[in-house]
Amino acid sequence: MTVIFAADDFDVTEEAPAKINLALHVTGRRADGYHLLDMLVTFARHGDCLGFRASERDEFSLSGRFSPLLTDGDAGGNLVLKARDLLRQAARAAGFEAPPVHIHLEKNLPVASGIGGGSADAAATLRGLARLWDLALPSDVVNAIALKLGADVPMCLASRPLIARGIGEVIELLPDFPSFAMVLGNPLVGVSTPEVFRMLARKDNPPFVLPLQATNGRMQWIETIEGLRNDLEPPARMLCNEIATLSQLIESQGALATRMSGSGATCFGLFDNLEQATAAAASLHSLRPDWYFQATETIKGDA
């Protein structure tokens, strides 16, 4: 008999918020091939959810709209299981117990869609298992594990508005950053991140310069965001025609600003309030029921 789980059935639950690149400037490239980025990042109140509980043996289960696109295979191909194994190794090296655990992933975000789903899941695994196992590891140890899992994971570990530079590991939190009402949209078409970077016309674009956050309110931030870029959007549009259509559809609903997140194909629109965003998402869903649309709000800097 198949047992159906939900994340809230577990002893410890952790949200894995969608990571939204409000701006992404490609400013250079390191000798090892990694691209240097300036990113303005915030996180949505919508995302995946993970549950954790003690078990006689390690288990992993899935639910949610996009779970059929994943498998519960070995740790080699799953960031959640990689995070479990790396944290367990560090915990035992520090003298902590890290017994078997059942991890459940409720997959609500599209897969490989430019909003950090896998990275957010890995970060939530680090947070959730630290609580379940009652770990007191130094923050630099946990951050090193996060970076080993991927350049986006340290950002997702924070899950607060921030500026990220370097390959994503140099992080500056933005405590006064406002919350935005937002619609997320995705045409459910995959875009290859390596191919997007390969097609960049320039890899030494200007970094961004932000005004003083203390004097920059919500509408001023929207104006600032409109003046920034996602340097990955033009090549992504060449690879995936649906991105242009999606962006136009969101803009047609009265969005204050519209842009692609990350390497795509998810686009977002900022709205005056959640009611408008909810109405826009419903309208967009009626126009394209085969695509993904979600109204949400982003997490405030002081949350």
Question: pLDDT tens digit string along 186-234?
Answer: 999 989 999 999 999 999 999 988 876 555 688 899 999 999 999 999 9
Query: Quick one: pLDDT at residue 4?
Result: 65
The catalytic residues are 19, 152
- Whether the predicted pLDDT of 175 surpasses 50: yes
User: What are the tokens at 202?
Assistant: 């320039």
- Strands in the chain per DSSP E: 12-29, 35-54, 59-63, 101-106, 162-166, 170-173, 181-186, 257-260, 267-271, 292-297
Residues 60-116: tens digit of each pLDDT:
999 999 988 886 544 345 899 999 999 999 999 999 999 999 999 999 999 889 998
Q: What pLDDT was estimated at residue 303?
A: 57
Selection from 69, 130, 67, 128 nearest residue 103 by Cα: 128
> What predicted TM-score, i.e. pTM, was given to this entire model?
0.93
Structure tokens at 303: 């949350």
Q: Which of 303, 302, 211, 298 is nearest to 21 (CA)?
A: 298
pLDDT at residue 1 in the model: 39
Taking residues 259-266, report their average pLDDT.
96
Q: Is 3's pLDDT higher than 60?
A: no
What digits encode the pLDDT tens for the residues 113-144? 999 889 999 999 999 999 999 999 999 999 99
Tally of helices (H runs) and strands (E runs) in the chain: 9, 10
- What's the confidence (pLDDT) of residue 71? 63
